Amino acid sequence: MNPQFDYIFELFTLLISLAVAEMLMGFSRILKMRARRKAGVDPTAISVRVGWLVPLLGLLVLIDLATFWSIIWTMRGVLDMRIATIFGVLVLIGGYYLIATLVFPDEPELWPDFDAYFWQQKRVVVGGVLLINIASTVASLMLGAQGAEQVAAAQKAALEHPAFAISSMIMLLNFPAFLWLAFSRRRIVCIVLMGFIVFTQLFHAYATWGLEGIL
């Protein structure tokens, strides 16, 4: 591992932790609001409809944050302590944190129907995640983060473990799925696409479990 990566990773960890905390706080606000609604102690919360769209979007972003973290980890051998690297980390991770703050409304009581909030923020959130994923993937390829050993390990795993080969191919469909999700105006299509992306990420995590040298 590049010794300078430790200093860069500290900055990365701080920003990504803030993004994860923002997502968990969003889920926490929804659960607390539902508890107040069931108890009948908050008349405002009673009239709020959460639905499925915003929670699914939050789950998608949270899981994608974990995947994004793994991409940065694969770059540990090629990132060094330069001002350009620091700016790049700030742009990518800072952008991700900004996106995370938009997934859930800060004051849920102001949105009687969370679906309306979803349609207002969906294109910014999904489009932002897609752009960051593309940028990080391109950066990883340009910097040669996947060395000969990692490539050989991936090829061997694909031959010996069919689940890994299938999950790797399905993961390639995430990019068009994100693009479709960003522009779709149909509720059921958005639910299916978000479910598909979440499934592919979880399936890939399962398929790579226990495979040495594979993230």
pLDDT (tens digit per residue) in 104-145: 988 877 888 899 999 999 999 999 999 998 888 887 777 665
Residue given tokens 């489009």 in the structure block: 127
Residue 80, in any domain of the structure: yes
Predicted confidence at residue 167, as pLDDT, reads 86
Least confident range of 10-19, 72-81, 156-165? 72-81
Rounded Cα gap, residues 34 and 46, in angstroms: 8
Residue 124, in any domain of the structure: yes
Residue 113, in any domain of the structure: yes
Residue 215, in any domain of the structure: no
Residue 214, in any domain of the structure: no
The b/e string for 123-141 (b: 16+ C-beta within 10 A; e otherwise) is eebbbbbbebbeebeebbe
Assess contact for 48 and 114: CB atoms under 8 A: yes
Predicted confidence at residue 63, as pLDDT, reads 92
Question: Does 10 have pLDDT greater than 90?
Answer: no
Residue 213, in any domain of the structure: no
Rounded Cα gap, residues 87 and 101, in angstroms: 21
Residue 46, in any domain of the structure: yes
Assess contact for 125 and 102: CB atoms under 8 A: yes
Predicted confidence at residue 76, as pLDDT, reads 67
- What percentage of the chain reaches a pLDDT higher than 70? 79
Predicted confidence at residue 46, as pLDDT, reads 63
Rounded Cα gap, residues 10 and 58, in angstroms: 25
Predicted confidence at residue 52, as pLDDT, reads 92
Per residue in 47-64, pLDDT tens? 678 889 999 999 999 999
DSSP H helix total and E strand total for the chain: 9, 0
Least confident range of 66-70, 126-130, 170-174? 66-70
Residue 212, in any domain of the structure: no
Report the number of distinct structural domains present in the chain: 1
Assess contact for 200 and 141: CB atoms under 8 A: no
Predicted confidence at residue 198, as pLDDT, reads 95
Q: What is the DSSP string of 50-87?
A: -TTHHHHHHHHHHHHHHHHHHHHHHTTTT--S-HHHHH
Rounded Cα gap, residues 139 and 127, in angstroms: 18
Q: Tell me which residue range forms the domain holding 154.
A: 5-207
Residue given tokens 């995370």 in the structure block: 100
- DSSP lists the bridge partners of residue 113 as 49
Assess contact for 30 and 50: CB atoms under 8 A: yes
Predicted confidence at residue 207, as pLDDT, reads 84
